[in-house]
């Protein structure tokens, strides 16, 4: 089973906030993208882009971000909720 970790973070640059999404397979970045806002549309768009780089149907691993889990559920994709930091 292929596991893809999804995460996002907010960064500030020049007085503006941006959301950086990342998808990681083991230690390799599959995709990374920056959005000017964090919303359902941006989240789903990022996940659709990630799927272009995946063979088959991966299982996504998310931390506590409810918007990631919600998008994956709406897109009928498998996911596990885990803590990345132990």
- CATH number for 53: 3.30.420.10
- The per-residue DSSP string of 1-55 comes to --EEEEEEEEEEETTEEEEEEEEEETTEEEEEEEESS--HHHHHHHHHHHHTT-S
Q: Could you tell me the end-to-end alpha-carbon distance of the chain, in angstroms, rounded to an integer?
A: 22
- pLDDT in the model for residue 1: 60
61, part of any domain: yes
Q: What is the pTM of this model?
A: 0.86
Q: What is the pLDDT of residues 1-60, one digit of tens each?
A: 689 999 999 999 999 999 999 999 988 999 999 999 888 899 999 999 999 998 888 999
Q: What is the pLDDT of residues 53-85, one digit of tens each?
A: 988 889 999 987 888 999 999 999 999 988 655
38, part of any domain: yes
35, part of any domain: yes
What is the count of structural domains for the chain? Answer: 1
- pLDDT in the model for residue 83: 67
Residues 6+ apart with CB under 8 A from 72: 47, 60, 62, 78, 79
């Amino acid at each position: 089973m292929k596991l893809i970790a999804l995460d996002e973070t907010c960064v500030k640059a020049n007085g503006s906030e941006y959301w950086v999404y990342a998808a990681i397979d083991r230690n390799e970045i599959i995709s990374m993208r920056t959005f000017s806002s964090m919303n359902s549309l941006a989240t789903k768009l990022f996940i659709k882009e990630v799927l272009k780089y995946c063979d088959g149907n991966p299982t996504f691993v998310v931390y506590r971000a409810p918007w990631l889990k919600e998008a994956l559920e709406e897109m009928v994709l498998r996911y596990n909720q885990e803590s990345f930091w132990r």
